[in-house]
Amino acid sequence: MPIHTYDQSPISNLHLSPLRPDLRVIADLIPAGCRALDLGCGDGELLDFLIHQRQVRGRGIELSEQGVLACVRRGLTVRQGNLEEGLADYPDDSFDYVILSQTLPYLDNPAMILREMLRVGEKAIVSFPNWGYWRCRLELLLTGRIPHAPDLPQSWYDPPRWQAMTVSDFIALSRELNVRLLDEVYMAAGKRGPRTWFKNLLATTAVYVLAGNDLRS
């Protein structure tokens, strides 16, 4: 699929709208003035906030035309295309942070995307819904059906299709990829939760800051 770039000056005050709770957590993890790339940026809600409120030099990649047009209306610089193609165009260390918010379950090759994120960025921030949450486990036990993720409304058969994953799955994948976990935030009911041994049971959404294992921090 060809990559299309859209760039347009701001035309409204859309950036003044409040952020979704998990996006607020991500925004709090990103320092002002840094270079950031938002993968699967959707309608540009997070990217818009970072640029206008944190003076981040930000760009985005989004597959859907609807999302790209929403970003254009916000005055954002985005590229239309899938993440594999979009990341391949960037040289090493192009960004300070590369963000992947609630997109990981939809990827065909999440391990490759994580490697690419840490190639083009010094650090990566990843968030995803946790199917290890206790209500998901109980739903599967009682009904025998694939549960909805707490913060993901789609059923398993709705497009785009997702792959269920848990906090423990992601930690194991990070170890396999030799990726360092620099910070972690666990959320439940839209609020930050404690870091406990039971995070895989109690968290509805997890947010991680990652870095490659090359002593960069």
Which whole-number Å values give the CA distances from 196 to 109, 183, 185, in the listed order?
A: 29, 14, 11
Q: Please write the tens of the pLDDT for every residue from 155-195.
A: 777 777 788 899 999 999 999 999 999 999 999 988 887 77
Which domains are delineated in the chain?
A: 4-133+164-212 (3.40.50.150)
Alpha-carbon distance of 128 to 164, in angstroms, equals 10
Q: Give residue-wise pLDDT tens across range 129-164.
A: 999 999 999 998 999 988 887 777 777 777 777 888
- Give, as one character, the DSSP assignment of residue 14: G
Higher pLDDT, 124 or 7: 124
pTM over 0.85: yes
Q: How far apart are CA 118 and CA 124, in angstroms?
A: 6
pLDDT band at 108 (very low <50, low <70, confident <90, very high): confident
Per-residue pLDDT tens over the stretch 78-88? 999 888 777 88
DSSP letters spanning 137-175: HHHHHHH-SPPPPTT----TTSSSP-----HHHHHHHHH
Q: Which residues contact 184 (CB under 8 A, 6 or more apart)?
A: 195, 206, 207, 208, 209
3-state secondary structure of 26: helix
The maximal CA–CA distance of the chain, rounded, in angstroms, is: 52
DSSP state of 23: H
Strand order in the sheet with 95-101: 4-6, 78-80, 57-62, 35-39, 95-101, 121-129, 205-212, 179-188, 191-193
Tokens coding 45: 């809600």
- The continuous run of DSSP H or E covering 212 comes out as strand 205-212
Question: Residue 217: is its pLDDT beyond 50?
Answer: no
Q: pLDDT tens digits, residue range 39-78?
A: 999 999 999 999 999 999 999 999 999 999 999 999 999 9
State residue 177's pLDDT score. 95
